Amino acid sequence: MLRIAIPNKGRLADETRQLFDDAGLDVRARGDRALSASLGGLFEAIFVRAQDIPEFVADGAADAGITGFDLVRESGRALDELADLEFGRCRLAVAARDESGVNALDDITEGARVATVFPRITERFFRERGQVVTVVPVSGAAEIAPHIGIADVIVDLVSTGSTLRVNGLREIATVLESSSRLIASPTVRADAARARALDELVAALSSVIAARGKRYVMANVPRARLDDVRRIVPGLNGPTVIDIMNGGAFVAVHAVVGVATIYRTIADLKALGAEGILVTRIERLMA
């Protein structure tokens, strides 16, 4: 049994459950308040605070875990990062009051007070820049600190930036880009059975993440335009070309296409005279 620590609430919790669901690992908890759940035969989930997950995994209370990269870095613990799960994207940023006159890192004066929930990352960031600041650790709501006189600037997580804006703060630099990660204790690899289970977990979750950014495109295209089709839909190993019964001048082409370029692909296929274009989601993609 591999024990996996999963966020119990907050931004990462719902997306983590959805990911396990999509990977066919149904998180079957005994009721909403359960602290653990079985995950198929190989895995067991424990539900804990995202902040605690790096420590729990590093200490061996769980074999693996899902949490934000920001929290992994802040913990300072030695952990294997097995996959970027891509959700929970945000950045840790330095921000100052709009009217503070601080527009760049170099405007921050020596000894300035920096309020943050991430004291370890913040100290290191300014130390590496050779800037002397006083870090003021807070346990939340750092954005209020410059307004009540306990800090000059803050280092806080930013997603859309609207929290900073409504609090009269301006983002001046990025400290760290973050998203959710699958982490494991380096000791898990010492046990062959656990290492195998971990590899299965990485493959299951990564294949779902890889598929989210792709679509499967099917179209009937004029056989005479196949060279142009290859240029438009390269596919994983070139597009699949299938004869159509009574298709005559047309063949069916299937390919995996990046979701960001799907509209372009469809327009290009139409321009070649393609017909019956179908686009579907992919559940898993193992390259």
User: Binding residues for ligand AMP, per CB under 6 A?
Assistant: 11, 68, 88, 90, 156-163
CB atoms within 10 A of CB 25: 22
| CB of 12 or CB of 135, closer to ligand AMP | 12
| CB of 88 or CB of 146, closer to ligand AMP | 88
| CB of 54 or CB of 239, closer to ligand AMP | 54
Strands 240-243 and 169-178: unpaired
Q: How far apart are CA 221 and CA 229, in angstroms?
A: 8
Interacting residues of 264 by C-beta distance below 8 A, sequence separation 6+: none
Nearest approach in angstroms of CB 247 to ligand AMP is 49
Nearest approach in angstroms of CB 71 to ligand AMP is 8
Q: How far apart are CA 43 and CA 25, in angstroms?
A: 9
Nearest approach in angstroms of CB 122 to ligand AMP is 14
Write phi, then psi, for 79 (nearest 5 degrees). -135, 145
End-to-end Cα distance, the chain: 27
Rg (the chain; Cα; Å): 24
Nearest approach in angstroms of CB 159 to ligand AMP is 3
| CB of 166 or CB of 260, closer to ligand AMP | 166
| CB of 178 or CB of 220, closer to ligand AMP | 178
Nearest approach in angstroms of CB 256 to ligand AMP is 28
